[in-house]
Structure 1
Amino acid sequence: MIIKFLESIGAYVINCLETLGQFTILVRDTIVQLRHMPRFRHVFQQMSHLGVDTLPIIALTMLFTGMVLTLQTATEFIRLGAQSTVGGIVTIAVGRELGPVLAGVVTAGRVGAAITAEISTMKVTEQIDALKVMATNPIGYLVVPRLIACMCMLPLLVVFGDVIGSLGGWMIANYYDIDIYMYINSIDTFVEVHDVVGGLIKAIVFGAIVAIVGCYYGLNAQNGAEGVGKATTRSVVVSIIVIFFSNCLLSMVLYR
Structure 2
Amino acid sequence: MVKTEAQFIPSNNNASFELRGDLTLSTVPALWRVVRKTEWANAQIDASGIVRCDGAGAALLFELVQRGAQLQHIPEQSQRLLQALNPEQALLPSAGKKRVNAISQLGLNTFNTLADFKLQISFLGAIAQAIADTLRQPKTFRIRDFLQQCELVGANAVPIVALISILLGVILAFQSAIPMRQFGAELYVANLLGLSLIRELGPLITAILLAGRTGAAFAAEIGTMKVNEEVNALVTFGFDPMRFLVLPRLMAGVLMAPLLTLFAEVVGLFGGALVMKGFGIPFATFWSQVSTQVDLVDLFTGLSKAAIFGFIVASVGCLRGLNTGNGASAVGAATTQAVVQTLVLLVIADGLFAVVAYHMGW
Q: For the superposition of Structure 1 and Structure 2, which TM-score range results when normalised by the shorter chain?
A: over 0.9
Matched, 1:29 2:126: yes
Matched, 1:132 2:235: yes
Uncovered stretches (5+) of structure 2, i.e. residues with no partner: 1-98
2:356 to 250, 253, 256: 253
Q: What is the CA distance between 1:185 and its match in structure 2?
A: 1.3
Q: Secondary structure at the match of 1:177?
A: coil
- The equivalent of 1:178 in structure 2 is 281
After superposition, residues 37-48 of structure 1 pair within 5 angstroms as 37=138, 38-48=141-151
Structure 1 residue runs of 4 or more that deviate by more than 4 Å after TM superposition = none
Distance 2:358 2:212 in 1: 27
Letter in 2 for 1:130: A
Q: Secondary structure at the match of 1:34?
A: helix
Cα pair 2:317 2:338 within 8 Å, conserved: yes
Q: Secondary structure at the match of 2:325?
A: coil
- The equivalent of 1:195 in structure 2 is 298
After superposition, residues 49-198 of structure 1 pair within 5 angstroms as 49-198=152-301
Larger RCO: Structure 1 or Structure 2 (Cα < 8 Å, ≥ 6 residues apart)? 1
Matched, 1:8 2:105: yes
Distance 1:156 1:108 in 2: 16
Cα pair 2:324 2:331 within 8 Å, conserved: yes
Letter in 1 for 2:189: V
After superposition, residues 233-244 of structure 1 pair within 5 angstroms as 233-244=336-347
Q: What is the CA distance between 1:255 and its match in structure 2?
A: 3.8
Distance 2:284 2:189 in 1: 12
- The equivalent of 1:206 in structure 2 is 309
Whose helix proportion is higher, 1 or 2?
1
Uncovered stretches (5+) of structure 1, i.e. residues with no partner: none
Letter in 1 for 2:117: L
* Seq. identity, %: 35
Distance 2:324 2:238 in 1: 22
Q: Secondary structure at the match of 2:154?
A: helix
Q: Which has the larger radius of gyration?
A: 2
The 1:3/1:84 distance shift into structure 2, 3 A limit, reads closer
- The equivalent of 1:17 in structure 2 is 114
Q: What is the CA distance between 1:182 and its match in structure 2?
A: 1.7
Distance 1:15 1:184 in 2: 51
Cα pair 2:220 2:331 within 8 Å, conserved: yes
Distance 1:159 1:43 in 2: 21
Size of the aligned set, in residue pairs, is 255
Q: What is the TM-score with the length of structure 2 in the denominator?
A: 0.69
Q: What is the CA distance between 1:184 and its match in structure 2?
A: 1.2
Whose strand proportion is higher, 1 or 2?
2
Q: What is the TM-score with the length of structure 1 in the denominator?
A: 0.97
Distance 2:258 2:358 in 1: 18
Distance 1:60 1:88 in 2: 22
Q: What is the CA distance between 1:77 and its match in structure 2?
A: 2.2
1:146-182 Cα shifts (integer Å, max 9, x gaps): 1100000000000000000000001111111111122
1:104-132 Cα shifts (integer Å, max 9, x gaps): 00000000010000000000000000010
Matched, 1:223 2:320: no
Distance 2:154 2:325 in 1: 28
